Structure 1
Amino acid sequence: MNKLPVILIVDDDDMNIAMAKSILENNVRAEIITASSGNKCLDILSYRQGAIDLILLDIAMPGMDGLQTLSVIRKNPAYKNMKVIFLTAAADKNTIVKASQLKVDDYVKKPFVPADLIARVKKHMFAPVNNAQVDDIFKALDKLGL
């Protein structure tokens, strides 16, 4: 049995976590875990030894905000290419510039539009395969009517 991909939702607002988790559990085949702060996010990454496929990270959190959390994540060589989508109600120009410097993969505006959240998560978790050998297999299956 294949292991499901893991999505970590990090937000200090319980309602936002509940909404995002519910939307994703009903529409994406993945294990969904949550954290309520940047520090807890880093603890989970450490505990799971980086075995997280995608982080949905709130920007505005007390204590360690999303930018600070992502900065720590990017400094760890094992996590430097980890996919991160920022969750934001509104981001000013400076925040967007800092986020792009930290190589954030995408943004989802809050309040969540379910279709937007689902599409962005799927885009980054299930990128289209661009492999000639796989394409040949699918073409052969098509010819067989499978």
Structure 2
Amino acid sequence: MVDFTSSKHILLVDDNLDNLKVLSEILQAYGWRTLMATDGESAIEQAEYAKPHLIVLDVMMPGIDGFETCRRLKANPITANIPVIFMTALMDTNSITHAFDLGAVDYITKPFQNQEVLARIKTHFSLYMLQMELEKLVAEKTHEVVKAK
């Protein structure tokens, strides 16, 4: 069973400080560590430095928007595998499909329901941790096979 809260951290990205505070408080109440950024550039810097287990990303921000931020994160080998969940007020189909085309794992519209956000975060975090575990096992087995030759 994957432990959802043992020193796990999430990067929250939104230019609205109230949104960041509310979401951070919700997650911290369930034992999550949160990092926060108010724009795309600082989000990319924090993701490269801290390597969070998950990124929750708004679309409409000053400077580079969430879509461009996601594109840059997915193009960077250091951050490419970090799951990105968009959380935004944009509800049109084009925005939603664009987010998935850029590599997002989920899309939540504002206003959000606390329990839904927690459920989605737990699901994607679990999948991410299982993927990391599987990649580690494959690397170990590959090393064993190469060593045995």
User: Contact 1:20–1:112 (CA<8 Å) still a contact in 2?
Assistant: no
Q: What's the CA shift for 1:94?
A: 2.0
Under a length normalisation based on structure 2, what TM-score does the superposition of the two structures give? 0.77
Any gaps of 5 or more consecutive residues in structure 1?
A: 132-146
Residue 37 (structure 1) aligned to one of 35, 39, 45: 39
CA-based RMSD: 2.2
What percentage of residue pairs aligned between the two structures are identical? 34
Greater share of residues in helix: 2
User: Contact 2:91–2:109 (CA<8 Å) still a contact in 1?
Assistant: no
User: Contact 1:6–1:53 (CA<8 Å) still a contact in 2?
Assistant: yes
Query: Which residue type is aligned with residue 81 of structure 1?
Result: N
* C-alpha distance after superposition, 1:22-66 (max 9, x if no partner): 111112x32111010111101112332xx2100000011121110
Q: What does residue 28 of structure 2 align with?
A: 25
Any gaps of 5 or more consecutive residues in structure 2?
A: 134-149
Q: Which runs of 4+ in 1 moved over 4 A?
A: none
Q: CA–CA distance in 2 between the matches of 1:77 and 1:94?
A: 27
Under a length normalisation based on structure 1, what TM-score does the superposition of the two structures give? 0.78
